[in-house]
Amino acid sequence: MFDEPFICSYTGALLAGVDEVGRGPLAGPVVAAAVILDPNKPIEGLADSKKISEKKREILFDEITKKALSYSISESSVLEIDELNILHASMLAMKRAVDTLPVTPEYLLVDGNRCPQVTMPAEAVVKGDDRVACISAASILAKVYRDRLMVELDKQFPGYGLAKHKGYPTKAHVEALKNLGVNELYRRSFKPVSSLI
């Protein structure tokens, strides 16, 4: 399933994977998810959410939310991103996702090279979303949730193309931003937004 699987020292059932999406966009929140998979209900096709088609992610989102022992999705707002910086806001979103899991995990595997401040043991896994099933599941939940949110925001703030680029700094997005101006969806601490205020 995974090219380079990660071997975890923890062998219990209450293992949660944690990941976030939306560090790079100019607009919208950063979103994190935490997932405890059920070993008795395997899910085929888990991988890094960026490597899966949108259609496949949507199907997996429904399967994960049905089959997982527990899951939670949280976010950090644009205001928190501007106040704390994107790294700390990402850590806060991940902490919130872990803290709001209906089932408390005994151990966490977190995508990346650092862990949020949590009460249980946690381990960072570089490229974890491509190596660990529960982290892949978390990346898919966070990605689909955030993409759906950006589609809804596109209806409220037409003209920016949010449904298409999801807030990432494409050429068309930057042009729309210059023409339409900065609104409350935008991260004012990010370039080129800061230069347009």
- pLDDT for residue 11 is more than 90: no
How much is the average pLDDT of 8-27?
92
Q: What is the pLDDT of residue 6?
A: 83
Question: Contact at 8 Å (CB) between 21 and 49?
Answer: yes
Q: What is the pLDDT of residue 197?
A: 83
Q: What is the pLDDT of residue 190?
A: 96
How much is the average pLDDT of 27-32?
98
Q: What is the pLDDT of residue 3?
A: 67
How far is Cα 94 from Cα 174, in angstroms, rounded to an integer?
28
How much is the average pLDDT of 70-96?
98
Q: What is the pLDDT of residue 1?
A: 56
- Tell me: the pLDDT tens digits for 110-137? 999 999 999 999 999 999 999 999 999 9
- The mean pLDDT value of the chain amounts to 95
Banded model confidence at residue 95, pLDDT cuts 50, 70, 90: very high
Give the distance, in angstroms, between the CA of residue 159 and the centroid of all CA atoms in the same chain.
Answer: 25
How far is Cα 113 from Cα 123, in angstroms, rounded to an integer?
9
List domains and CATH numbers for the chain: 15-196 (3.30.420.10)
Q: What is the pLDDT of residue 52?
A: 94
- pLDDT for residue 4 is more than 80: no
- The torsion angles phi and psi of 57, rounded to 5 degrees, stand at -60, -40
Q: What is the pLDDT of residue 42?
A: 93
Element (H or E) spanning 70, and its range?
A: strand 70-76
- Tell me: the pLDDT tens digits for 138-186? 999 999 999 999 999 999 999 999 999 999 999 999 999 999 999 999 9
On the question of a cis peptide bond just before residue 192, with omega within 30 degrees of 0, the verdict is yes
Banded model confidence at residue 8, pLDDT cuts 50, 70, 90: confident
